[in-house]
Amino acid sequence: MHIYNKITKPRGRVVSHIISQKERDRLVARAEEVLGIDWYGWKVDIDGFCIQLFTNSAHLYEFWVENWFSMTRKTRSHGRIYAVLDPEFNSGEPYAAYNPETKTAIIFNTEYYGQIKSWGALGISCDIAEDQHDIHSIHGSCIEVNGDGIVLIAPTNTGKSTHSYALLQMEGARLHSDDWLYVKFIGGEKGRASADISERKFYIRTNIAKVFPEIRRLLDKCKLENVEPLTEKEIEELKKQGEPIPENDPYIAHDYSRAMLDPLWIAGPEKFVDTTRIKKVILLKRDRNDPEIVKILGAEEAIEYLVTQPEQFLNPYLNVHTPEKTEIRKNFFRRLFHLVPCYLVNTVESVDVVQQKIREMIKEKS
């Protein structure tokens, strides 16, 4: 039996809504009524922004405290999240809403931590940072190699985590971030793009153990969410579809299984860095109709690619989508790609082949 493994319902993010301040006030009043005096709360520091959680879910509170750096008690919150279990609201069905004016997220009837972590905490801090501080967000991972920050940005299931962790085997490599990084520009047009971490611990897919079995011993020490074997019904459905039946290992059976992993465990404190200078950006895709593995993109070409993706900017955590926000984000990437080269890498080949190509790119002088 593992020390902690919460099975949630649902097991993914639910559809979210942008609401008016009047509706926000109504929903917050309902949330506070349900919470009463029996609630958990904690202020956290996300790149200097104070985000506060109010919840009646012990699981959400547990993961929230594990995930982030803590903020001092007296600091006033920049954003708030109400995550409330209320069977009488919306007939007990999950519901998520955000009010940009007050930087408030209200989430009902889901204990899936990914909802408050990504769309809630990171979405709110991104909304504040890009409007008020010229600090921008990338949904991606970053590995530093001999002092150079290598950022990987990718849609789900195209190999971002796989290739990030494979790069750690390179000489001079250090781990920076797994899912999200904050970027600010220092020194004007000929300056640099500096990347900072957001999380204290990584909320990571456990099925990475399929590619890197050595990480299993670390997962055994982690608090888990939705780590479970395939059910008989799921196995039968795979058989009907003619799909191969994977090894029924709880860590690798489902894409939605997560662990709260301390990055210092992965390779030790000496292989971890919290700030780095971005020197290359790699966009990953998986396209069997494209024979080309590596392509260098110009700044405008790269921006066009990011804007036209199903998840704009390859970032599913953005909770505000307006023409003004799109321009802010395009200008950010325009500035970034004028400082560093951008590559588009097709991961349809084997991990070894693609990894070799990525390493060759990293070794090239910019």
Summarize pLDDT for 71-126 with one digit per residue, the tens: 999 999 999 999 999 999 999 999 999 999 999 999 999 999 999 999 999 999 99
State which H helix or E strand residue 113 sits in: helix 113-114
pLDDT tens digits along 11-42: 999 999 999 999 999 999 999 999 999 999 99
pTM of the predicted structure, to 2 decimals? 0.94
Burial class from Cβ neighbours inside 10 Å (0-12, 13-18, 19+) for residue 16 reads middle
Place of tokens 């920049």: 78
Q: What is the dihedral of CA 58, 60, 63, 66, to 10 degrees?
A: -80
Q: How far apart are CA 355 and CA 352, in angstroms?
A: 5
Amino acid making up residue 134? D
**DSSP state for residue 85 in the 8-state scheme:** -
Alpha carbon of 244 to those of 158, 236, 237: distances in Å? 19, 11, 11
Q: How far apart are CA 279 and CA 336, in angstroms?
A: 10
Which domains are assigned to the chain?
5-132 (3.40.449.10), 136-201+266-363 (3.90.228.20), 205-261 (no CATH)
How large is the greatest C-alpha to C-alpha distance in the chain, in angstroms? 60
Cβ proximity of 318 and 312 under 8 Å: yes
